Chains A and B, each alone.
Chain A
Amino acid sequence: MRKILAFVGVLLAAHVAMQWIHPAGAAVAPTGNALDVGIVFDLGGRGDKSFNDGAYIGAMRAAKELGARVRFVEPGEGSDREAGLRLLAAEKMDLVIGVGFIFTDDLTELAKEYPNVAFAGVDYAVTIDKDGNPVAPPKNLAALKFREEQGSFLVGALAALVGKSKKVGFIGGMDSPLIHKFEAGYRAGVKQVCPDCEVIAQYAGVTPEAFRNPGRGKELALSQYQQGVNVIYHASGSTGLGVFEAARTLDKYGIGVDADQYKEAPGHVLSSMVKRVDNAVFDVIKRVAEKKFTGGIYSFGLAEDGVGYVYDEHNRALIPDSVRQRLEALKAEIVAGRIIVPSTK
């Protein structure tokens, strides 16, 4: 018994010691009263090739250009998310950022508890009151939202213009309002350039596991491709890796989401609808640095370069110039407000 207790004691001590080693963030030369920024990653942490990596890139840019000192915390499963935020807030950081909608409730709580610390939540889910109006977050909390429907609109137009089969596909992760937004924008984009095109939209499931089921993604995609679809846009996390696998197998195209997913299946990724989490994170850090920070809802759309589609040396060969011009024209119309993209089905 005593042996076990001693063993557990050693483990605990090691565990506690790790806490101090682990969140050591980017070491940046301290510059007087530098800006202290703390970032808590969503599950997955750095290396998720998506949100967390985007936030990391934005923060590192802020470190370089604004001299901000950035600390990162990668929580494990479950409840240490709140602890991570609290740790940073209690250390009197100038700005604490939570990456992912999962932080919504924790951020709201802590913003009230620490009114002198600025908070920001990437993909913060703004609550809607019973009259359908958004409830403003606490005034020291910035909700960083993305207008995914606008980026999805453009890749919808792209899919219809390149697909050539009057049928285009959409595969979502968990069947939920968040993903319906992607679908709605995509559908609108398809209809804009091809009114008689059919959109086959399917979801991988009804639980959060639907975002982590590449096997299911592949089967959904195979059945869509076999029905004559040539291009599938996915908004389904790593389930979408199965979509790309199917595109490889049948020599078709997929469109990625959140980050540039070209590398997942070179030659078969037509483009990706990117959410520029890096831009949003950099923007909010800059506001704090310039003492212009105010809480509220910040919306990043095409106009703010918060969403977009990938067009670079990798996929240039897949997208004809005429299509590219058409997309840029559509983008200009959305930015000018002449096209209003729906965000609900």
Chain B
Amino acid sequence: MSLLLFLAQTLRIAIPYLFAAAGGALAERAGVVSLTLEGFMLGGAFGAVLGSHYTGSAWIGLVTGVAWGLMLALIHAVCSIRYKADQIVVGVAINLFTVGITRFFLQLAFESSSNSPRVAGFGGDAGSSAAAFLTNPLVWMGIVVMPALWWVVQKTTFGLRVRAVGEHPQAAASVGVPVNRVRYVAVLGSGALAALGGVYLALDQHQFTDSMTAGRGFIALAAVIFGRWDPLRAGLACLLFAAAETLQIQLQAAQLIPSQFVAMIPYVLTIVAVAGVVGRSTPPAALGRTTD
């Protein structure tokens, strides 16, 4: 039983990571740096609460959450691809912008600077956590998102183009691949995917609270890097990080491991991965570079 509880908690914690990491993997494979995941998630969370609040439907919340993700991703794409701005700077700017804009609209719509009122989520209000969990469509989407992304990236024409523009945009362009258009689609897709992570968080809490993503976007980015930009490996990295967190939650009461130690696991593993200790970790060759 306790193993089941452990697995369920790991999965619950992993869902937002899985969505955000899927978004990160997609954009980065197309050569666009994804520091923006945190902002996309936060925007998605806020959009979901707005939609769910005004319509009473979690499904519409899902749609509006994704719309917020797309909107932020469009800003990212226009700045990074159209105007060739430094993608890291744009990413940081979008994260800060999202914190500010969500706080602004929170105040405007709900007259509170801390949290929104309660909104409808999936699975209704009542019931045990297990039932609420299994009837949440976002859980199932989260489970399949990485395998699905892997299939798209590895097996479809679009995936081939994404990999091509991420590795060698000039070569891709020379055979007629519309480099910028592929990157636009990849960045917009990453916005939608990462926003779903935020939608899950917000609807699971039935409300939006200020800065509620609390750094999950960066852990997801760490998972992408640790997973060497491969969706399946990144998915496993998400599960690993979530398992570490669950372990910390379960063991913290017993004071076996200092919580500071567990909190740094994702980052230490990422540094280890980037330093090339376990296998070779090569980012897409054109990552962060814009082309003419």
Contacts and interface: CB of A to CB of B under 8 A. Distances in A.
A202 B209 contact: no
Given A203-B252, A213-B214, A249 B132 contact: yes
A267 to B, nearest CB: 12
A214 B114 contact: no
Interface string B126-165: 0111001000000000000000000000000000000000
Nearest to B15: A215
A201 B127 CA distance: 26
Interface stretch (A40-48, A62-70, A181-189): A40-48
A213 B100 CA distance: 17
A49 B99 CA distance: 19
Interface in B257-284: 259-260, 263
Interface in A46-82: 46-50, 52, 77
Interface string A188-217: 000000000000111101110110111110
A47 B111 CA distance: 6
A214 B204 CA distance: 10
Interface stretch (A124-132, A136-144, A220-228): A220-228
Contacts of A222: 9, 129
A219 B253 contact: no
Interface stretch (A14-22, A102-110, A237-245, A322-330): A237-245
B209 A212 contact: yes
Interface centre among B111, B212, B260 (most CB of A within 10 A): B212
Contacts of B263: 205-207
B226 to A, nearest CB: 21
A44 B250 CA distance: 32
Interface string B213-256: 01110000000000000000000000000000110011011000
Interface string A240-268: 01100110111000000000000000000
Interface in B1-50: 5, 9, 12-13, 16
A175 interface: yes
B241 to A, nearest CB: 13
Contacts of A207: 263
Contact of B112 (A48, A218, A248): A48
A218 to B, nearest CB: 7
A4 to B, nearest CB: 13
B125 interface: yes
Q: Please classify how large the interface on chain B is, using the bins under 10, 10 to 19, 20 to 34, 35 or more.
A: 35 or more
Contacts of A202: 249, 252-253
Contact of A200 (B16, B201, B253): B253
Contact of A44 (B16, B113, B205, B253): B113
B209 A219 contact: no
A243 to B, nearest CB: 11
Nearest to A44: B113
Given A226-B5, A245-B205, A219 B249 contact: yes
Contacts of A212: 209-212, 214
Q: Point out which of B99, B204, B253 has the most chain A C-beta atoms below 10 A from its C-beta.
A: B253
Interface residues of A, number: 40
B115 interface: yes
Nearest to A201: B253
A219 B13 CA distance: 8
Contacts of A249: 127-129, 132
Contact of B259 (A48, A49, A203): A203
Contact of A46 (B9, B113, B115): B113
B55 interface: no
A301 B38 CA distance: 40
A203 B113 CA distance: 24
Contacts of B214: 205, 209-210, 212-213, 215-216
A44 B245 CA distance: 29
Nearest to B264: A206
B291 interface: no
Nearest to B111: A47
Given A219-B9, A245-B205, A249-B132, A206 B259 contact: yes
Contacts of A215: 13, 16, 201, 204-205, 212, 214, 216
Contacts of B95: none
Contact of A245 (B206, B250, B253, B260): B206
Given A46-B113, A219-B13, A250-B129, A241 B250 contact: no
Contact of B212 (A47, A201, A213, A223): A213
26 contacts: A45-B113, A47-B112, A48-B112, A49-B112, A50-B114, A175-B260, A202-B249, A202-B253, A205-B214, A205-B263, A212-B211, A212-B214, A213-B214, A215-B212, A215-B216, A216-B214, A219-B9, A219-B12, A219-B245, A222-B129, A223-B250, A238-B114, A238-B209, A241-B115, A249-B127, A249-B128
Interface of B: 5, 9, 12-13, 16, 99-100, 107, 111-115, 125, 127-129, 132, 201, 204-207, 209-212, 214-216, 245-246, 249-250, 252-253, 259-260, 263
Given A49-B115, A205-B214, A216-B214, 5 more contacts: A44-B113, A209-B214, A219-B12, A219-B245, A223-B249
Please provide the 6 A-B residue pairs with the shortest distance between their CB atoms, ordered closest to farther.
A213-B214, A238-B209, A47-B112, A44-B113, A47-B113, A209-B214
